[in-house]
Amino acid sequence: NAGVTQTPKFQVLKTGQSMTLQCAQDMNHNSMYWYRQDPGMGLRLIYYSASEGTTDKGEVPNGYNVSRLNKREFSLRLESAAPSQTSVYFCASSPTGDMNTEAFFGQGTRLTVV
């Protein structure tokens, strides 16, 4: 029962370095999301993908890019990491066309940029 799998779980980057956060789901969901969680701010949407081949910006997209590689995978890339991107990142997925089903979350990636 894998559900949504994120890698890595922890990462420390130096300012200016790049990295890609990986996310894969095995529930055949069309919709996938990337959120960041900061203390006192809840979860804020970075990017989402309603279906394979489509991506759209969320509330806080600056400094990030995404790729929906196929139906299963949705990656988040930081091209030049900044300390302001220190956060916990969550990938989530849900069936498209169904607002009555919960979103399923990965375990999260704790990223520190020094």
Site residues (vs other proteins, CB under 8 A): 30-31, 33, 35, 40-45, 48-51, 54, 56, 58, 88, 90, 92, 94, 96-105, 107-108, 110
Shortest CB 10 distance to other proteins, Å = 11
Helix (H, G, I), strand (E, B) or coil at 25: strand
Distance CA 111, CA 104 (A): 21
Shortest CB 96 distance to other proteins, Å = 4
The CA-atom distances, in angstroms, between 18 and each of 27, 47, 85 are 29, 18, 12
Nearer to other proteins, 9 or 18 (CB): 9
Nearer to other proteins, 38 or 79 (CB): 38
Nearer to other proteins, 80 or 107 (CB): 107
Nearer to other proteins, 85 or 109 (CB): 109
Shortest CB 80 distance to other proteins, Å = 26
Shortest CB 107 distance to other proteins, Å = 6
Residues 6+ apart with CB under 8 A from 20: 75, 76, 77, 78
Q: Are strands 42-49 and 87-94 parallel, antiparallel or unpaired?
A: unpaired
Six token digits for residue 50: 């309603």
Beta bridge partners of 87: 111
